[in-house]
């Protein structure tokens, strides 16, 4: 049987490779090559086939590599990271790290995967990431404080992502409370925080992050909301996926350490720079009802402030979803 990763690495962006050449290289039939290619294309791999010429990549593709990620990290970041996993296929990177927590690891740790068979987003939604089109990974750490002190963690993680993207040269990206990464109203990525432990401490957090890097039109059709990627935001091809992964890890480790020491209060002023909702009319749903008003930023605990005709309301993350509302605030 052909290893899917090896088959993908055998393809080139410029020069097609024939099915017969691939069959000879891997010692299988052309039918076996075709079957594996179709399976990869169904997962979103940017592969195109042309009769008489063979298979080629529609664009550049750098597969994730643990050694390459570690090499691109600073010495201090590497020393803080207890474990780093890179999988071809896994159920869920959040689930993989939750198993490490249960096994008694001390953390922090990170897990990346090219394919997640049970990847999930906020409120149980399925997370869709075309193969090679982005980064889907998780990071975790323990906290001495309890779950009651974790308010605003997803926003602090968002700040870590913003710092990394700006370091890589991407600007104009913002955060949509409570967990979306956006550019001009289009979704670039998302954040999922799962907590465990005691209310008063200690506790742990497993943070899942998905980020679109290069999504071609064919694969993007499966995404259920308006989206963008770093290729469309930048001037062309994004930096190598492994370098982006390393940069994200560095800034996320720093953000989590800062949060452990100072909670979200240390991030509140910086969050205001990236808040895409502030001053806009919004509709807040969840918690058994619907409220409309004008987003007025967040407080020192990361709660959304909603200005309504009846006064200012405080809305905790984890209780609501937010969607822009046409018209003025009410």
Digit-coded pLDDT (tens) for 124-144: 566 678 899 999 999 999 999
The four Cα atoms 41, 44, 50, 54 give a dihedral, to 10 degrees, of -60
Q: Could you give the 3-state DSSP secondary structure of residue 69?
A: helix
The reply to whether 29 sits in an annotated binding site is no
Calpha distance 137→145 (Å, rounded) = 24
Which tokens hold the place of 16? 């097609």
Active-site residues, by number, are: 122, 187, 323
Phi, psi of 328 (to 5 degrees): -90, 165
pLDDT-based confidence at 29, cuts 50/70/90? Answer: very high
Residue boundaries of the structural domains of the chain? 4-57, 66-273, 277-324
Task: Report whether 285 contacts 278 (CB < 8 A).
Answer: no
DSSP state of 29: -
Strand pairing class (134-143; 304-308): unpaired
Question: What local confidence, expressed as pLDDT, does residue 329 receive?
Answer: 40
Question: Quick one: what percent of the chain has pLDDT higher than 90?
Answer: 77
- Which of the pair, 225 or 11, is modelled with greater confidence? 11
Q: Each residue of 218-247: pLDDT tens digit? A: 667 677 788 999 999 987 766 799 999 999
Return the CATH number of 66-273, one of 3.10.129.10, 3.30.1490.20, 3.30.930.10, 1.10.510.10. Answer: 3.30.930.10
Going by pLDDT thresholds of 50, 70 and 90, the confidence category of residue 52 is confident
121 is in an annotated binding site: yes
Residues 227, 208: Cα–Cα separation, whole Å: 18
Distance CA 176, CA 181 (A): 6
CATH class of 277-324: mainly beta
152: left (phi over 0), alpha (psi -120 to 50) or beta: left
- What integer is the mean pLDDT of 22-27? 96
Q: What pLDDT sits at residue 59?
A: 83
d(CA 53, CA 55): 7
The CATH topology of domain 4-57 is Arc Repressor Mutant, subunit A (1.10.10)
The total number of residues written for the chain in this structure: 330
pLDDT per residue over 155-164, tens digit each? Answer: 999 999 999 9
For position 323, what pLDDT does the model report? Answer: 65
Annotation-wise, does 187 bind a ligand?
A: yes
Q: What are phi and psi of 242, to 5 degrees?
A: -70, -35
How does pLDDT run across 257-299, given as a tens digit for each residue? Answer: 999 999 999 999 999 999 999 999 998 887 667 888 999 999 9
Any known ligand binding at 117? no
Nearest to 54 by CA among 8, 1, 11: 11
Q: Check pLDDT > 60 for residue 198.
A: yes
Q: Burial level of 62, CB count in 10 A (0-12/13-18/19+)?
A: middle
């Amino acid at each position: 049987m052909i290893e899917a990763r090896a088959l993908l690495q055998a393809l080139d962006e410029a020069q097609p490779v024939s099915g017969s050449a691939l069959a000879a290289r891997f010692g299988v039939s052309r039918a076996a090559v075709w079957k594996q290619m179709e399976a990869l294309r169904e997962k979103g791999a940017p592969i195109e086939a042309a009769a008489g010429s063979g298979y080629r990549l529609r664009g550049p593709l750098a597969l994730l590599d643990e050694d390459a990620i570690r090499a691109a990290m600073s010495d201090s970041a590497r020393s803080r990271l207890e474990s780093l996993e890179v999988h071809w296929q896994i159920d869920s990177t959040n689930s993989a790290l939750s198993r490490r927590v249960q096994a008694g690891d001390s953390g922090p740790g990170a897990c990346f995967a090219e394919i997640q068979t049970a990847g999930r987003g906020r409120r149980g939604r399925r997370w869709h990431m075309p193969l090679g089109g982005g980064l889907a990974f998780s990071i975790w750490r323990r906290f001495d404080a309890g779950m009651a002190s974790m308010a605003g963690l997803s926003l602090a993680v968002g700040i870590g992502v913003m710092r990394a993207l700006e370091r890589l040269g991407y600007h104009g990206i913002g955060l949509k409370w409570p967990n979306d990464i956006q550019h001009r109203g289009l979704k670039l990525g998302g954040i999922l925080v799962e907590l465990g432990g005691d209310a008063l401490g200690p506790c742990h957090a497993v943070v899942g992050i998905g980020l679109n890097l290069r999504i071609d039109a064919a694969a993007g059709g499966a995404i259920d909301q308006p989206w963008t990627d770093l290729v469309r935001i930048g001037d062309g091809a994004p930096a190598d996926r492994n370098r982006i992964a390393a940069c994200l890890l560095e800034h996320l480790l720093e953000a989590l350490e800062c949060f452990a020491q100072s909670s979200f209060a240390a991030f509140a002023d910086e969050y205001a720079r990236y808040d895409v909702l502030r001053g806009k009319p919004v509709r807040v749903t969840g918690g058994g009802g619907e409220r409309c008003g004008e987003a007025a930023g967040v407080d020192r605990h990361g709660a959304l402030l909603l200005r309504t005709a009846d006064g200012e309301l405080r809305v905790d993350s984890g209780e609501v979803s937010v969607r822009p509302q046409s018209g003025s605030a009410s």
